[in-house]
Amino acid sequence: CGQSDPPCDFVQVAPSPDRNRLIAIRTTPGAAEGSSALYFMDLSRSVETIIFPSRRVLAADYSPDASFVIFSAIAAQTTQEDLFYSQPNGTAEENLTQSLTVQERNPRIDPFARTVAFERLDESGVSRIYLYSNTALTSGPATGPALPDTPYVVGADASPVISPDGLR
């Protein structure tokens, strides 16, 4: 797709534990403005399958046992980001958060697939780190003004990462 006009662009990749497969978020030529599709790629067989072609998928993570993926996307008929579960091939999709006033994004699955850390952005622009489903890990008011051209305010927390041992 890099040869198309306009070319596609990879936004994020999440490899499977065996590193032979991955899910990728990338732009697609001809898609609606702001769209980014979720792809499944089997690197060992050079196979690429588009899972969700016309959605705005923003972040994704592969489970440690390669049995499922968690991703954030704009929910249908809304402008809010929610967390979704699906099999790596896109089947069994389920909206996990279904929020109307907050946005959940940037999910990260712990190494034992017991929980997911994610960013939760409220309507005031304050973002905090949560554990699924509704346990806040960070708290307190943001400490400054809105950051230009972003949905964030100074002091907000974003983009969690779980340690390899799953303890932090």
Structure tokens at 90: 């896109």
pLDDT of residue 45: 92
pLDDT of residue 96: 94
| pLDDT by 10-residue block (mean), the chain, 168 residues | 69 88 81 76 89 84 92 86 92 91 92 92 84 82 73 76 87
Q: Answer whether 73's CB lies under 8 Å from 82's CB.
A: yes
Report CA-CA distances (Å) from 28 to 3, 37, 50, 62: 12, 7, 10, 21
User: What is the CA angle 98-101-103, rounded to 5?
Assistant: 65
Per-residue confidence (pLDDT) for residue 51, from 0 to 100: 87
| Tokens standing for residue 31 | 């898609």
Output the six-digit token pair for 117. 């850390």
In eight-state DSSP terms, residue 118 is E
Given CA atoms 150, 151, 152, 158 in this order, what sign does their dihedral have? negative
